[in-house]
């Protein structure tokens, strides 16, 4: 009875000792120790977001899915497009060498001879919406929007008996023994945000439907995100969205503020926790967890696969390839002095200079936040000023007519009178509301604006850090490149200038005036 764990990958192109050593010096002090343990680089293809990855360890076949197609190859540097398939959710190699592709439109199977077959795990759009695909002996399990479905050896898909109906978002399978010592399967699934566990004796004379052995997590304050069963020990783990891993005990990972945990993986002796704001790694399921070196520490990871000594992570920015780096952090840093000095001779500014230039250009420095808080605090001392101007204008006209008889003659008398007046009035009033001195109502708006600015600043600095250290890695790979490879050298120079252009846009041209442009 075979278990298909999350796919693992073969070793890729060897990483030279020089490139591995200089990576530690280029990374920040916070991740120096982690960088000395792992060296990460992006695979050349696919260039966009990678949604799933799988590996067949025997023949050494690698499968990678981006948003529009599936790539196959013997290693990450030799992937070629194999099949068009949109929004792939999961990949899995079968024991016969076939590749299963799970997506919103059902299942597809690429046979070893290249022929493509379509499988429908149920009737209706929800049953076709497959989130996970796992092997369970000679059967296959699929987590769909309509629940967990099982394919028997005849190829018929049916709902798995004993499991609740509802949207299934995660699935785990591992071989165990039941109470009588008979071969069995332990099943785990996340259905409607709740983790469920069963034992299933699916073969032999004692075969029976799955038996529930647990549901939910005691005292959980967060919904379940993923389930995992260790192939070595058979222990079951539930990952909650708040980053807590629950098994025999509970351990919570230090996720970035506002992040949600999404996937849990075990590859060799390492455990990986993928969140929507970065990837964490540990040597045990219960930690201690730490952020992976840049750029993985802030990238969104969809899947992790590999074997001891090589890891592959499907991220929104491509497939990242990781390998261990021998030696201690101190030895790696000492060995990197020479290439780091060469980078300084090229005029490469440090990350702190770049950070200051970015904040200055975008006006996101701390002085702006201090001024906003200071202004809100002083607002209560300022009065409401009102100025009033009055203008009065009037006019009056009167006419008098009269007759008089004087000395035997009649006299007509006419009298006219015009009266005009104009007046101006001005008043100035100052009014204080002393209650605003203690707490001004607009301080709430200022606090909200400050939080949004801090989030914007963190996002900008995170993007710039990724571009900065990625350029450093490219430059160090260029330094370590053996002679006689002009095309690879040209590719690295173009990539370095591409990253420099990205940083230059964030600094308003400051960075471009400081660095050497290698592709001109």
User: pLDDT tens digits for 86-97?
Assistant: 899 999 998 888
> What residues have CB less than 8 Å from 183, skipping those under 6 apart?
1, 175, 177, 201, 203, 204
Instruction: Find the mean pLDDT for residues 394-414.
Output: 75
pLDDT score, position 365: 74
Q: What angle do CA 192, 195, 198 make, to 5 degrees?
A: 120
CB atoms within 10 A of CB 278: 22
pLDDT score, position 54: 92
Distance (Å, rounded) from C-alpha 143 to C-alpha 39?
Answer: 34
Of 313, 325, 326, the residue nearest 43 (C-alpha): 313
Structure token digits, residue 518: 């290698």
C-beta separation of 55 from 7 below 8 A: yes
Banded pLDDT at 414 (limits 50, 70, 90): confident
| Predicted TM-score (pTM) of this structure | 0.58
pLDDT score, position 137: 75
Distance (Å, rounded) from C-alpha 498 to C-alpha 518?
Answer: 10
Phi and psi torsions of 200, nearest 5°: -130, 115
Q: Has residue 132 got a pLDDT over 90? A: yes
pLDDT score, position 443: 64
Please list the residue range(s) of the chain that carry CATH number 2.130.10.10.
17-335
Q: Where do we find the tokens 């016969």?
A: 96
pLDDT in tens, 16-25: 323 333 333 3
Q: Which CATH superfamily is domain 17-335 in?
A: YVTN repeat-like/Quinoprotein amine dehydrogenase (2.130.10.10)
pLDDT in tens, 203-224: 665 566 677 777 777 667 789 9
pLDDT score, position 273: 92
pLDDT: which is higher, 343 or 28: 343
Banded pLDDT at 37 (limits 50, 70, 90): low
CB atoms within 10 A of CB 3: 18
Of 212, 240, 211, the residue nearest 228 (C-alpha): 240
Least-confidence region, from 114-128, 223-237, 439-453 = 439-453
Q: Where do we find the tokens 């009875």?
A: 1
pLDDT score, position 344: 54
Percent share of the chain, pLDDT over 90: 19
Strand (E) positions, 374-474? 384-406, 409-431
- CA separation, residue 365 to residues 159, 371, 403 (Å): 57, 11, 91
Averaging pLDDT over each range in 276-280, 381-385, 430-434, which range is the top one?
276-280
Q: Please, which residues bridge with residue 173 across strands?
A: 187
Average pLDDT value for the chain:
78
Q: Is the peptide bond between 341 and the residue preceding it cis, with omega within 30 degrees of 0?
A: no
Q: Where do we find the tokens 């038996």?
A: 211
Q: Has residue 71 got a pLDDT over 60? A: yes
Distance (Å, rounded) from C-alpha 374 to C-alpha 358?
Answer: 24
pLDDT in tens, 105-121: 999 999 888 899 998 88
pLDDT score, position 52: 95
């Amino acid at each position: 009875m075979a278990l298909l764990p999350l796919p693992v990958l073969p070793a890729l192109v060897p990483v030279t000792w020089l490139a591995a050593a200089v990576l530690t010096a280029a990374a920040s002090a916070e991740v120096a120790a982690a960088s000395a343990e792992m060296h990460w680089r992006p695979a050349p293809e696919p260039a966009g977001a990678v949604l799933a990855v799988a590996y067949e360890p025997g023949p050494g076949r690698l499968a990678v899915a981006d948003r529009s197609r599936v790539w196959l190859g013997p290693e990450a540097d030799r992937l070629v497009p194999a099949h068009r398939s949109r929004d792939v959710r999961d990949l899995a190699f079968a024991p016969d060498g076939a590749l299963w592709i799970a997506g919103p439109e059902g299942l597809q199977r690429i046979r070893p001879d290249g022929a493509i077959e379509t499988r429908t795990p149920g009737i209706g759009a929800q049953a076709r919406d497959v989130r996970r695909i796992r092997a369970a002996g000679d059967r296959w399990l699929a987590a769909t929007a309509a629940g967990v479905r099982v394919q028997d050896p005849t190829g018929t898909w049916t709902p798995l008996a004993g499991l609740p109906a509802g949207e299934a978002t995660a699935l785990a399978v591992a071989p165990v023994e039941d109470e009588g010592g008979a071969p069995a399967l332990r099943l785990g699934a996340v259905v409607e945000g709740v983790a469920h566990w069963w034992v299933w004796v699916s073969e032999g004379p004692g075969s029976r439907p799955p038996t529930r052995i647990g549901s939910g997590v005691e005292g959980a304050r967060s919904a379940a995100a993923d389930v995992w069963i260790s192939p070595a020990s058979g222990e079951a783990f539930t990952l909650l969205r708040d980053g807590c891993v629950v098994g025999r005990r509970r351990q919570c990972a230090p996720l970035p503020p506002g992040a949600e945990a999404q996937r849990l993986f075990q590859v060799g002796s390492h455990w990986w926790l993928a969140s929507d704001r970065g990837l964490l790694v540990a040597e045990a399921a219960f930690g201690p967890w730490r952020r992976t070196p840049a750029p993985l520490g802030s990238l969104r990871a969809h899947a992790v696969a590999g074997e001891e000594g090589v890891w592959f992570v499907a991220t929104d920015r491509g497939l990242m390839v990781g390998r261990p780096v021998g030696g201690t952090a101190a030895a790696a840093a000492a060995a990197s002095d020479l290439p780091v000095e060469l980078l300084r001779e090229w005029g490469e500014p440090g990350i702190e200079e770049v950070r200051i230039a970015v904040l200055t250009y975008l006006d996101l420095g701390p002085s702006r936040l201090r001024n906003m808080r200071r202004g809100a605090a002083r607002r209560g001392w300022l009065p409401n000023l009102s100025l009033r101007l009055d203008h009065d204008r009037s006019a009056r006209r009167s006419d008098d007519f009269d007759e008089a008889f004087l000395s035997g003659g009649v006299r007509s008398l006419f009298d006219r009178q015009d009266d005009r007046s104009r007046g101006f009035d001005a008043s100035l009033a100052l009014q204080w509301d002393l209650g605003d001195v203690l707490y001004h109502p607009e301080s709430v708006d200022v606090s909200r604006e400050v939080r949004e600015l801090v989030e914007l600043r963190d996002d900008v600095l995170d993007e710039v850090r990724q571009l900065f250290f990625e350029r450093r890695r490219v430059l160090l790979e260029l330094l370590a490149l053996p002679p006689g490879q002009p095309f690879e050298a040209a590719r690295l120079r173009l990539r370095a200038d591409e990253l420099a252009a990205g940083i230059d846009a964030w600094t308003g041209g400051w960075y471009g005036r400081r660095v050497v442009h290698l592709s001109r």
